[in-house]
Amino acid sequence: MNKMIANPAATTMNIDFQTDPSRYRHWRVEYDGSVARLIMDVDPDATLFEGYQLKLNSYDLGVDIELYDAVQRLRFEHPEVKVVLLSSGKDKVFCAGANIRMLGGASHVHKVNFCKFTNETRNSMEEAGEKSGQHYIAVVSGACAGGGYELALATDHIILTDDSSSSVALPEVPLLAVLPGTGGLTRVTDKRKVRRDRADIFCSIEEGIKGQRAAEWRLVDETVPNSRLDEVVAERAAEYAARSDRPDEAKGIELTPIERRVSDDGLEYSTVAVSIDREAGTATVTLRGPDADVPADVDAMHALGAGFWPLRQARELDDAILHLRLNETRIGVLLFKSEGDIEAVIAHDDFLAAHADHWLAREILLYWGRLLKRIDLTSRTLVALVTPGSCFAGTLAEVVFACDRAFMADGEFEGVEGEAAMILHECNFGRYATVNGIGRLASRFYGEPESVDAARERTGDSLDASTCESLGLVTAAYDDIDWDDEVRIYLEERTSFSPDALTGMEANLRCVGPETMESKIFGRLTAWQNWIFQRPNAVGEEGALRRYGSGLRADYNRERV
């Protein structure tokens, strides 16, 4: 179980996102060839905070940290697994959803970050089926309510046991005065294509829907009597396994523990360093380029395992971003820097592109795609500083394009050898999509396809500051005389603004272009949930979350806002 360490300078306790199956308290995984069983069996006493129990397979962030770890390990450690059967280890209950007493007592910041992380984990399950050939099937027996149904919604196929105790429900509105904010509303209409008026009925009743009616409304894919459940589950697993291109005989790699050193003012990893300035409200995230040559072939890449630089850096940066999100909530600006051999970064991108059909290379590329989306969706001002010695190229250049502002050093700087440069790679033109389904350069130049074409023509070139500025790849370029003052003035201005206004502004400006189910979840549904989580009708002393289970009805302010 993830234990928390007090940090008086932070607004929350320190939550550790590292775990492994030997420490799971809430999940277990059983393997049988191409099929794995992911069983939710929550320990009610293994809570992240005090003051509640995780009864009826309800969950808190600690449960979801384990789930995220399990999903990652299924993809990297078990390439032979083509189907994951998601089920409950408890009798007559699948999952009761997010723990209500936890939500009622948690800070607003924790609730919002909890929902965001939960959404990202659900999205990674969907992506596993769509892009990685590892399909999830939910086997629902017993009550499946709220976040429990949202967990099932994230799978490729839902089988509901047709009996007196099995049902699906999204009761948040009538019971708690909040929303099924882990994508529930959006997945019901956009993914499962439930008719709008039926969705309205479904989300307005407490008791949920059972049996054939749930299948007719497309809330589940099929209902099966207990007598045939095992048979049908085996048939569906075989059908989905036949669709998968995951290798039958490949050996996975072990996701070994991430090595890091945590101090009062930052974190230190092998490829990432985080330096925190709490007085200024900033954190500088430095990405280090490759510390070894490109592997000779895919066998050599496999032998490196979790030590292979692109995978190692993705895991370390992922851990750092999650730490900053949950444990350093007063840090409002993330400054991204890099250092290292820029050509070595391109060489690693070339290697992964050349072997993109190999299961491990594919998983690493997909992981970077999920990580970059996590950066996009982090509610901090994101700033890139491209300086002499930087290695922002290819995949790492995507971090620059994810930022709200990017400043580049122009010309030589005193005491530093060389000039700042960037290099574009084919991966910058569509491999890594935003939640809107388009690449970051396409998003940056939305409505300007000629600007994307101009940048594409310079793929592989070493681009200096004036070229990057003229191509629109950075916000501004400053010489040695102006650099410190311009960056300082910008940061002072930025940190003087309302954090709430900045969060709303940045989230809207980052979601450029078309809308997808994913962008609706993060750009619309969670924004509403964020607002509702602050309203007294939900979290006030007489609100539904606070009064749940007390026998007292919530006292609502009836004004529509």
For residue range 386-423, list pLDDT tens digits in order.
Answer: 999 999 999 999 999 999 999 999 999 998 889 999 99
For residue 235, the domain's CATH number is 3.90.226.10
DSSP 386: E
Residues 298 and 432 in one domain: yes
Model pLDDT, residue 2: 41
Nearest to 402 by CA among 309, 499, 285: 285
Q: Which domain holds residue 478?
A: 264-509
Residues 232 and 297 in one domain: no
Pairwise CA distance, residues 435 & 449, whole Å: 19
CB 333 within 8 A of CB 282: yes
What six digits make up the tokens of 456? 């594409």
Domain for residue 193, yes or no?
no
Angle at 557 between CA 554 and CA 561, to 5 degrees: 130
HEC string for 299-357: HHHHHHHHHCHHHHHHHHHHHHHHHHHHHCCCCCEEEEEEECCHHHHHHHHHHHHHCCC
Pairwise CA distance, residues 405 & 382, whole Å: 7
Residues 281 and 425 in one domain: yes
For residue range 197-207, list pLDDT tens digits in order.
Answer: 999 999 999 99
Residues 281 and 334 in one domain: yes
Domain for residue 558, yes or no?
no
Residues 347 and 383 in one domain: yes
Q: Can you say whether residue 305 is alpha, beta or left, with left for phi > 0 and alpha for psi between -120 and 50 degrees?
A: left
Pairwise CA distance, residues 255 & 416, whole Å: 37
Positions in the chain whose pLDDT score sits under 50: 1-12
Domain for residue 369, yes or no?
yes
Pairwise CA distance, residues 482 & 105, whole Å: 48
Neighbour count for residue 5 (Cβ, 10 Å) = 10
Q: What are phi and psi of 133, to 5 degrees?
A: 70, 20
pTM (whole model) above 0.85: yes
What six digits make up the tokens of 396? 């790492």
Domain for residue 149, yes or no?
yes
**Tokens 């982090």 sit on residue:** 378
Residues 107 and 44 in one domain: yes
Q: What is the DSSP secondary-structure string of 417-471?
A: -S---EE--GGGTTTSB-TTSSBHHHHHTTT-HHHHHHHHTTTTSEE-HHHHHHH
HSE on the CB side for 529, CA within 13 Å? 30
Model pLDDT, residue 14: 87
Domain for residue 200, yes or no?
no
Residues 232 and 335 in one domain: no
Residues 236 and 301 in one domain: no
Residues 406 and 362 in one domain: yes
Sheet holding 83-88, edge to edge: 27-32, 35-40, 83-88, 135-140, 157-161, 222-224
Pairwise CA distance, residues 142 & 108, whole Å: 31
Domain for residue 362, yes or no?
yes
